[in-house]
């Protein structure tokens, strides 16, 4: 190997070693299963396929087609719907594909503001802008950390957007979708629910059920609470049983291809299929434990003196909690925690105006749950946060306690081949 290749391999190994010994609590991350990881390094990662199984532009897709048909079948079963497109290569790509399908440049989409929990792909400076859409924001209820229901209804009635978009990146409580969807449909809008963060909870029967609450389309990432490979998905329960409805599904389909993908990363598609099959088996149990752990962490940090948001609502109904750490102190706290091997991200909280100097932390427990932590372990985790952020103990001195706590958690749970997990987790999967 030459120096450059050695450098790359060494650093990937160092990263892997670090993450094996730390507390990864970024709310958008997770660990794929051992079998899914095998799919990622299979020959699928070298191949091309465009379009749909049986109707490819490229030869060589005999087995790819079988896997993709199975992947779509499993997605429909897992998400209880009649339409699934597993090709988007990320959640952002899924959103832009749906924007292309359902709106034209110059149309308006209504969404939350990114400062109040929406994703960059919902913004004029992000994905919505790529499609040339105007964005009008719903008001936000910062006390309850949720969309302001009456305000949103008013905005939709007034604006009559082409797309009424919902879903958040800072996402503690279900969107009151049922109450808004009828109003949006009366206004002639398509209702799109971005479930990127909460897809695994939804599939596990928790959080909410957007396709039954009025969403025409669900977009999502496949790697957050759904512990699959990095990727995206588009779901709908429209049946295509009228001419108009057929057209609707056709537009969704061509929004993705040829809209935003050509080849759709077949190894990720195969790994998605594995993740869906495993989630059908273990998803209920996993989603339930995630939410228990998030509530337990919120309670424990609150008792230790942290400003955990929404105590009056039990802190959270998702995998996340939000903690205020003092005016403009978010970056300091996240960097100190990183030195203690606790990985979180700083986040804007209501009242913040400077995205690069926010006052909060967003903390996710889905990955700690995946490695087997339960409510009692959340108390230990909360104690470590306190040492770094409140007691301001030198973080490097707390790191050894993190490593000690982490020692007992080196399996990946809620999947097949649990006993082989360490192989794929400890040495870069190779
Ligand atoms: C993470 C996220 C996405 C998509 O992210 P990708 O990294 O592109 O998969 C989309 N919407 C929301 C609300 C998100 O939080």
- Nearest CA residue ID for atom 9, ligand 1: 91
What average pLDDT does range 30-53 have in this prediction? 95
Location of structure tokens 């700690």: 368
Q: How far apart are CA 365 and CA 373, in angstroms?
A: 9
Q: Is the peptide bond before 258 cis (omega within 30 degrees of 0)?
A: yes
Is there a domain that residue 147 lies in? Answer: yes
Give the pLDDT confidence score for residue 28 in this predicted structure. 98
Q: Which of 5-9, 193-197, 223-227 has the lowest mean pLDDT?
A: 5-9
Note the pLDDT tens digit of each residue in 68-112: 999 999 999 999 999 999 999 999 999 999 999 999 999 999 999
> How far is it, in rounded angstroms, from Cα 60 to Cα 126?
36
Q: What is the mean pLDDT of residues 379-397?
A: 98
CATH of the domain at 114: 3.40.640.10
SS percent in the chain: helix, strand, coil, step 5: 45, 15, 40
Structural domain tally of the chain?
Answer: 1
Query: Does any domain span residue 164?
Result: yes
Q: Where does residue 84 fall: left (phi above 0), alpha (psi -120 to 50 degrees), or beta otherwise?
A: beta
Assigned token pair, 92: 């952002």
Q: Looking at the predicted structure, is the pLDDT value of residue 321 above 80?
A: yes
The H or E element spanning position 36 is helix 34-40
CB within 8 Å of 258: residues ≥ 6 apart: none
The pLDDT tens digits of the residues spanning 289-310 come to 999 999 999 999 999 999 999 9
From 221, 234, 318, 345, the mutation candidate for ligand 1 (largest count of ligand atoms within 8 A of CB) is 221
pLDDT at residue 342 tops 70: yes
Ligand 1: lining residues by beta carbon, under 6 Å:
28, 90-92, 95, 119, 121, 167-169, 194, 196-197, 221, 232
Q: Is the pLDDT of residue 50 over 90?
A: yes
Residue 335 is assigned to a structural domain of this protein: no
Residue 360 pLDDT greater than 70, yes or no? yes
pLDDT, position 419: 80
Answer whether residue 3 is part of any domain: no
Q: What pLDDT does residue 421 have?
A: 76
In a domain? residue 53: yes
Pocket mutation for ligand 1, best pick of 119, 195, 366 (most atoms within 8 Å of C-beta): 119
Residue 122 CA: nearest ligand 1 atom is 11
Instruction: Read off the tokens for 178.
Output: 């049922």
Which domain covers residue 242, as residue numbers?
34-276
Sheet holding 217-221, edge to edge: 83-85, 232-236, 217-221, 190-194, 163-166, 108-111, 134-137
- Tell whether 39 is covered by a domain: yes
Provide, rounded to the nearest whole percent, the portion of the chain with pLDDT above 90: 93
Whether the per-residue pLDDT at 429 is higher than 50: the answer is no
Model pLDDT, residue 425: 62
DSSP type of residue 374: -
pLDDT value at 420 more than 90: no
pLDDT digits (tens, 9 = 90+) for 123-155: 999 999 999 999 999 999 999 999 999 999 999
The pLDDT tens digits for 249-262 are 999 999 999 999 99
Residue 355's pLDDT band, with cuts at 50, 70 and 90, is confident
pLDDT at res. 418: 85
- Could you tell me the pTM of the whole model? 0.97
**What's the gap in Å between 368 CA and the centre of ligand 1?**
20
Mutate to test the pocket of ligand 1, among 88, 91, 219, 366 (most ligand atoms within 8 A of CB): 91
Mean pLDDT score, 320-339: 98
Which atom of ligand 1 lies nearest, measured to the CA of 168?
Answer: 13
Read off the pLDDT of each residue in 208-232 and give the average, rounded to a whole number: 98
pLDDT, the chain, mean: 96
- Find the mean pLDDT for residues 261-288: 98
* For residues 407-411, average pLDDT: 90
> Closest Cα to atom 6, ligand 1: which residue?
91
Token output for 276:
């869906």
* Domain assignment present for 299: no
Q: What pLDDT score was predicted for residue 123? A: 97
Is 409's pLDDT higher than 70?
A: yes
Neighbours of 425 (CB within 10 A): 20
């Amino acid at each position: 190997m030459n120096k450059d290749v050695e450098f790359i391999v060494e650093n990937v190994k160092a990263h892997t070693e670090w993450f094996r010994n730390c507390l990864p609590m970024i709310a958008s991350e997770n660990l794929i299963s051992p079998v899914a990881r095998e799919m990622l390094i299979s020959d699928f990662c070298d191949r091309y396929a465009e379009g749909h199984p049986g109707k490819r532009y490229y030869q060589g897709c005999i087995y790819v087609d079988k896997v993709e048909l199975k992947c779509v079948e499993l997605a429909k079963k897992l998400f209880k719907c009649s339409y699934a497109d597993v090709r988007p290569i990320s959640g952002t790509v899924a959103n832009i594909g749906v924007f292309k399908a359902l709106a034209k440049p110059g149309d308006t989409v209504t969404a939350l503001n990114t400062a109040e929990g929406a994703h960059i792909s919902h913004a004029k400076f992000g994905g919505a802008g790529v499609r040339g859409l105007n964005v009008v924001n719903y008001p936000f209820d910062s006390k309850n950390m949720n969309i302001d229901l009456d305000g949103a209804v008013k905005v939709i009635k007034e604006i009559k957007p082409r797309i009424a978009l919902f879903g958040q990146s800072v996402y503690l409580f279900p969107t009151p979708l049922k109450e808004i969807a009828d109003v949006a449909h009366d206004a002639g809008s398509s209702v799109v629910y971005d479930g990127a963060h909460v897809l695994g909870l939804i599939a596990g029967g928790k959080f909410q059920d957007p396709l039954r609450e009025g969403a025409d389309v669900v977009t999502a990432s496949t790697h957050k609470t759904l512990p699959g490979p990095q990727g995206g998905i588009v779901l709908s329960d429209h049946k295509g049983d009228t001419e108009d409805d057929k057209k609707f599904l056709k537009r969704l389909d061509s929004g993705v291809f040829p809209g935003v993908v050509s080849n759709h990363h077949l190894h990720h598609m195969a790994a998605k299929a594995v993740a869906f099959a495993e989630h059908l088996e273990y998803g209920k149990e996993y989603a339930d434990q995630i939410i228990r752990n998030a509530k337990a962490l919120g309670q424990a940090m609150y008792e230790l003196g942290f400003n955990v948001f929404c105590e009056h609502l039990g802190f959270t109904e998702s995998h996340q909690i939000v903690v205020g750490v003092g005016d403009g102190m978010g970056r300091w706290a996240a960097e100190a925690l990183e030195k203690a091997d606790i990985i979180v991200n700083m986040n804007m909280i209501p009242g913040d105006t400077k995205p690069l100097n926010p006052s909060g932390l967003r903390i996710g427990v889905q990955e700690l749950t995946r490695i087997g932590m339960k409510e009692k372990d959340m108390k230990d985790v909360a104690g470590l946060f306190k040492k770094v952020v409140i007691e301001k103990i030198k973080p490097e001195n707390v790191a050894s306690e993190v490593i000690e706590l982490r020692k007992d958690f080196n399996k990946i749970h809620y999947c097949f081949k649990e006993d082989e997990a360490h192989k794929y987790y400890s040495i870069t999967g190779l």
